[in-house]
Structure 1
Amino acid sequence: MSPMTEVEGRKLALSNLEKVLYPATGTTKGELLHYVATTAGALLPHVHDRPMSFLRFPDGPQGETFFAKNPPPGRPAWVKTVEVSRSEGVAARQVLVADLPSLMWAANLVVEFHVPQWRAESPGVADRMVFDLDPGEPATAAECCEVALWLRDRLAADGLGAWVKTSGSKGLHVLVPVEPTPSDRVSAYAKAIAVEAEAKLPELVVHRMARALRKGRVFVDFSQNSAAKTTAAPYTVRARSEPTVSTPLTWEEVGTGKTDAGSLVFRLDDVTRRLERHGDLLAPLLDLNLARGLPSRAGSGA
């Protein structure tokens, strides 16, 4: 029988706590849940009011993985859902992880947390923009750092601020708070910036997904700005060989990462220590008083 625990007045059955999910590090499911509970104060605000998708890996990254948008079976009645529009206008429901009990319920399923760039009350109207920097071998996170720094300066020319985190996998995510803007306009702007990046840095950047083009270069993926797409949330643990985390960075660390890509790999324990030292480096993205630009001027800052 699964042990019961109470989280903010909600009863939860937490299962298989001794199960080793990451054989490379011996990390158990209990340790994963402890990490989520410990970092919830930072993680929750970044997913709050955003329809949640889950990449599930219940037997660890070496087992079966599958992406789930529909609310999982057995969802407690107190876990909120919201109606969303899928392709061709078909309505469906997705989970809203709005509080700690909902977060721990979802974490017990063993998941990566993925969210769109818009909030539930404004479907398809983005309040942030993302560039997913994905290195094609033999390129690494070091090359991603070069591209991220170029993007930061280019976006600043259009009056846009930028923050950065590791993807928790091989690359980086550059995050940009924006004035509420329809996702298709944000996507068009992001694509224009990616095309410009390739024109300015042709040996380093590619803006198209074709793998044949990506060897040794960084794919600047702008597609996650589509209203239908999602991005791995800050602080989520990834289904990789080790329990690496999508971790906020300082721009100074990005500068260092140009020559030391290994310095940008963070696991569970690293992130809890970083939060104690830095707090949430992405907190400005949540500041409603932060000056936000309008992503509609691609080409003007060149």
Structure 2
Amino acid sequence: MSPMTEVEGRRLSLSNLEKVLYPATGTTKGEVLHYVATTAGALLAHVHDRPMSFLRFPDGVEGERFFAKNPPPGKPAWVRTVEVPRSEGVTARQVLVSDLSSLMWAANLVVEFHVPQWRAASPGVADRMVLDLDPGEPATVVECCEVALWLRGRLAADGLDAWVKTSGSKGLHVLVPVEPTPSERVSAYAKALAVEAEAALPALVTHRMKRALRAGKVFVDFSQNSASKTTAAPYTLRARNEPTVSTPVTWEEVADAGRGPGSLAFLMQDIAARLERYGDLLGPLLNPNRAGALPRA
């Protein structure tokens, strides 16, 4: 029998709490669920009203993993869903994780949380832009920090504020709150920034995905601004060797990253202290007054 618990008046069956999901650290499913529960306030704020996709790894990071947009089998009736466009004339339903009980139900499935740059009420109309900085070996997050700082300055020249988080993998995500703007236009602007970054920093940046071009460089991936794409949510755990978290960081930490790649790697046990020290560093993303208008093409 799986233990039952009650969350906000909903009864949940939480299963296999002793299962080790991260063999390198011995981290169990119970510990993962505890992390999600204690980080829920910050996590929920950034996935609110955004259709959820899940990267599932139910048997741990060494087992099978699969990406799912459709509501998982066995979804309780009380977990909200919303109809979203998938392609021309085709819609489908996706989960909205909007409260603690839904969050814990999803976390029990062992998932990474991924969301688009738009909200359910306005599909394909972005309220934020993301630039995913992905280092090609031997480049590391240190090179990503140099690129992020350049992008911050370039965005400021267009009147746009930027915030930053680790991807929870190897790189960084630069996040920009924007006035509601069609995803196609945000994508075009993001691509123009990536091309400009490559022109300004040719030894350091590529805007093209081709693997052969990426060795030792930072790929500035603008594609996640497409209406059909998603990005790992702030504070989500990642299916990596260790329980890494996509963690908001300060620009001062980015500027100090010359201390080495490990200075911007955070595990789930690091997050509570960071929230206590800094609060939610991405809180300004949620303030519509911080949203900027994209420059005219």
| Fold match by TM threshold 0.5 | yes
Which residue does 1:100 correspond to in 2?
100
Alignment partner, residue 54 of structure 1: 54
Which residue is equivalent to 1:260?
Answer: 260
Counterpart check, 1:293 vs 2:292:
yes
Aligned to 1:166: 166
For the residues of structure 1 that align with 2:116 and 2:21, how far apart are their CA atoms? 27
- Percent identity between matched residues is 82
Q: Secondary structure of the residue that 2:208 maps to in structure 1?
A: coil
Residue aligning to 1:6: 6
Q: Deviations over 1:197-230 (max 9, x none)?
A: 0000000000010000000000000000000000
SS in 1 for 2:289: coil
3-state SS, counterpart of residue 49 of structure 2: coil
1:88 Cα deviation from its structure 2 partner: 2.8
Matched with 1:198 is 198
Write the distance in 2 (CA, Å) between the matches of 1:84 and 1:296.
28
Count of equivalent residues: 297
Identify the residue that residue 112 of structure 2 maps to in structure 1.
112
Unaligned runs of 5+ in 2: none
* SS at 2:256 equivalent: helix
- AA aligned to 2:56 is R
Q: CA deviation at 1:272?
A: 1.3
Return the letter of the residue paired with 1:18: E
CA offsets 1:91-144 (integer angstroms, 9 cap, x no match):
100000010000000000000000000000011000000000000000000000
Asked if 2 retains the 8 angstrom alpha-carbon contact of 1:71 and 1:94, the reply is yes
- 1-side partners of 2:289 and 2:214: how far apart? 39
Shift of 1:35: 0.1
Separation in 2, partners of 1:287, 1:68 = 30
Q: Match of 1:143, as an amino acid?
A: E
Give the Cα–Cα distance (whole angstroms) in 2 for the partners of residues 253 and 55 of structure 1: 28
> What is the alpha-carbon distance in structure 2 between the residues aligned to residue 44 and residue 144 of structure 1?
27
Alpha-carbon distance in structure 2 between the residues aligned to 1:12 and 1:74: 12
Runs of 4+ in 1 over 6 A off after TM superposition: none
Whether contact under 8 Å (1:146, 1:258) holds in the other structure is no
Shift of 1:156: 0.2
Q: Distance in 2 between matches of 1:259 and 1:152?
A: 20
Q: Normalising by structure 2, what TM-score?
A: 0.99
Q: Which residue of 1 aligns with 2:77?
A: 77
Secondary structure (helix, strand or coil) at the match of 2:93 reads strand
Q: Considering only aligned residues, what root-mean-square deviation do their CA atoms show, in Å? A: 0.8
Counting only pairs closer than 5 Å after superposition, residues 124-273 of structure 1 correspond to structure 2 as: 124-273=124-273
Task: Give the Å deviation of 1:288.
Answer: 2.3
Question: Structure 1: where are the runs of 5+ without partners?
Answer: none
Which amino acid counterpart does residue 293 of structure 2 have in structure 1?
L
